[in-house]
């Protein structure tokens, strides 16, 4: 039975099917609209570094044929064949997209879907409709991405600019079409009877042959197979606000300041109270005029008109962008970053979470919201009577708020460095002091550790487990070290470690050393042990 995905859902391909020769079908339609459905093969930086892996109607397959465009069949507007074990090592993501060819918007589409079929059986489906979009003309539907193993993610991220915006987002360029050469006019056809109509060819089938009825042999991994008939399309209702880019400034360069009043000179009578030969008083905030016949001194931070570089506008301070750049160029490095993921770092100290993706509320530290867009509700998240007692007794109490709705929330606290850690059924131990936010789908509980423990000398830590993301904050850029029998860390500097690691107190206190005044200050450390793959996170700061 096919698994129904919503926007933001992810899963390992191996959890969906044992096959690696897969059929990907896309169904999308709208009144009076035509669509271009494509697949982008991206590198580790999510860029189209090799144009041969842009699969569309003019390039229907990759060089080794690991990605093939099959056309419309089995009720799908477009379909692909993807052989995962043949994809080259430099391709880390396959992004399946749909763009409107001509006029129109994605808000006009009807119910559609992207689905994966293995051996003729549908294993996953992500359904969408026009209510999820507004003015977008292109949309990223779903991704196959490599993260130790191949995984699938339902994306549903739109772009207002269409195919050109998609290409620029992936680092590609739009090639300009050359005018076609005039075709010679064909001769008029002579009389001939109509040809016999050929019978329609059956749809190609890639399914594995059926097994004999008895005895039942073990079934191999499903091979590539197109679905036999279209399945009913479930409708998913979403409403994701569209992000608009900042408008460009209407004006050009900064206008020059008004000229200063002319000084007293020949042919001008002195003003009231002015001694002949003395310059008139200068109003506050203006530059005094220069002597008669000379230019007035330039304002602070500017050069006189004759000293400015050729072509520079007069009266504009040095360093101001020339015409054509202006405010938009100055703000370009600080624009919002949208990658189509639920959690997106905007910089080292600011994290953005899209609540519309995944449909799971977010629990964040109270007061950590710095900005939000869309319709978002904030409510108090209590720990209950037992939770408050445990939190007060262990020092692992977290004052949380619950963020729900369909918008984007930006989180930060005290300029700390933020790190989004995605859990896929595994666990991590983090001090409550170092937790900024996490998905409500994660299970969290207080775990006791032996000895002095983690920052502040606590005896307890928070254990997060399940599927979701936890955002950890650190003072400065941390370092991640593998756990070995000789791995030690200061209990006031370690931030987090893998849940499977064993923590042991290591003390260097000796009676003879304590008999004398003074010591190194490093008498108690934490020793970590565990199987290969375990880790610790240490910050360059001591609590």
The whole-number average pLDDT for the span 168-188 is 59
Please give the Cα distance from 90 to 42 (Å, whole number). 8
Q: Does 384 score more than 80 pLDDT? A: no
| pLDDT more than 70, % of the chain | 63
So what's the pLDDT on residue 196?
A: 46
Token pair recorded at residue 526: 């934490």
- Burial zone of 500 (CB within 10 Å; 0-12 exposed, 13-18 middle, 19+ buried): middle
Please give the Cα distance from 500 to 423 (Å, whole number). 14
DSSP code for 520: -
pLDDT confidence bin for 239, thresholds 50/70/90: very low
- Burial zone of 535 (CB within 10 Å; 0-12 exposed, 13-18 middle, 19+ buried): middle
Return the bridge partners of 469, or none.
422
In which region does residue 293 sit, left (phi positive, over 0), alpha (psi from -120 to 50) or beta (all else)? Answer: left
The whole-number average pLDDT for the span 454-463 is 64
pLDDT confidence bin for 447, thresholds 50/70/90: confident
CA 223 remoteness from chain centre: 33
Mean pLDDT of the chain: 76
The pLDDT tens digits of the residues spanning 152-175 come to: 999 998 878 777 878 888 887 655
In which region does residue 359 sit, left (phi positive, over 0), alpha (psi from -120 to 50) or beta (all else)? Answer: left
Task: Kindly report the number of other CB atoms within 10 A of residue 446's CB atom.
Answer: 17
Task: Say which residue, 452 or 523, is predicted with more confidence.
Answer: 523
pTM of the model: 0.43
The whole-number average pLDDT for the span 465-473 is 92
Token pair recorded at residue 190: 């002579």
Q: Does 249 score more than 50 pLDDT? A: no
CB 62 within 8 A of CB 83: no
So what's the pLDDT on residue 462?
A: 85
């Amino acid at each position: 039975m096919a698994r129904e995905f919503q926007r933001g859902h992810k899963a390992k391909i191996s959890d969906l099917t044992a096959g690696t020769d897969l059929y990907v079908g896309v169904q999308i339609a709208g009144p009076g609209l035509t669509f271009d459905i494509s697949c982008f093969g991206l590198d580790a930086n999510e860029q189209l570094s090799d144009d041969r892996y842009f699969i569309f109607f003019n390039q229907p397959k990759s060089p080794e044929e690991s990605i093939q465009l099959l056309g419309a069949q089995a009720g799908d507007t477009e379909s692909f064949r993807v052989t995962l074990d043949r994809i080259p090592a430099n391709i880390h993501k396959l992004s399946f997209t749909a763009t409107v060819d001509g006029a129109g918007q994605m808000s006009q589409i009807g119910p559609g879907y992207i689905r994966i079929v293995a051996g003729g059986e549908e294993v996953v489906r992500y359904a969408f409709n026009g209510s999820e979009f507004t003015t977008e003309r292109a949309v990223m539907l779903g991704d196959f991405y490599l993260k130790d193993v191949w995984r699938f993610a339902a994306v549903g991220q739109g772009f207002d600019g269409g195919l050109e915006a998609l290409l620029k987002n992936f680092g590609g360029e739009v090639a300009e079409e050359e005018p076609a050469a005039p075709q010679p006019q064909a001769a008029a056809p002579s009389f001939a009877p109509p040809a016999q109509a050929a019978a329609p060819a059956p749809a190609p089938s890639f399914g594995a042959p059926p097994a004999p009825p008895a005895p039942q042999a073990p079934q191999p991994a499903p091979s590539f197979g197109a679905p036999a008939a279209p399945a009913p399309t479930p409708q998913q209702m979403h409403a994701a606000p569209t992000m608009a880019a900042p408008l460009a400034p209407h004006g050009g360069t900064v206008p020059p300041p008004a000229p200063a009043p002319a000084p007293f000179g020949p042919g001008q009578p002195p003003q009231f109270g002015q001694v002949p030969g003395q310059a008139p008083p200068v109003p506050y905030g203006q530059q005094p005029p220069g002597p008669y016949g000379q230019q007035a001194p330039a304002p602070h931070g500017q050069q006189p008109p004759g000293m400015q570089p050729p072509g520079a506008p007069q009266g504009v301070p040095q360093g101001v962008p020339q015409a054509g750049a202006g405010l938009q160029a100055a703000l370009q490095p600080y624009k919002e970053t949208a990658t189509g993921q639920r959690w997106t770092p905007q910089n080292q100290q600011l994290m953005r979470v899209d609540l519309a993706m995944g449909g799971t509320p977010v629990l964040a530290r109270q007061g950590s919201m710095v900005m939000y867009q869309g319709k978002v509700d904030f409510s108090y998240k209590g720990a209950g009577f037992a939770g408050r007692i445990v939190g007060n007794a262990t020092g692992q109490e977290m004052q949380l708020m619950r963020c729900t709705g369909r918008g984007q929330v930006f989180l930060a606290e005290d300029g700390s460095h933020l790190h989004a850690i995605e859990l896929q059924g595994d666990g991590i131990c983090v001090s409550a002091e170092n937790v900024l936010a996490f998905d409500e789908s994660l299970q969290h509980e207080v775990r006791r550790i032996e000895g002095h423990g983690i920052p502040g000398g606590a005896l307890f830590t928070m254990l997060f487990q399940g599927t979701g993301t936890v955002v950890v904050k650190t003072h400065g850029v941390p370092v991640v070290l593998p756990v070995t029998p000789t791995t030690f860390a200061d209990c006031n500097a370690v931030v987090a470690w893998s849940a499977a690691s064993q923590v042991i107190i290591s003390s260097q206190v000796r009676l003879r050393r304590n008999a004398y005044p003074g010591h190194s200050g490093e008498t108690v450390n934490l020793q970590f042990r565990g199987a290969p793959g375990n880790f610790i996170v240490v910050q360059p700061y001591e609590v």
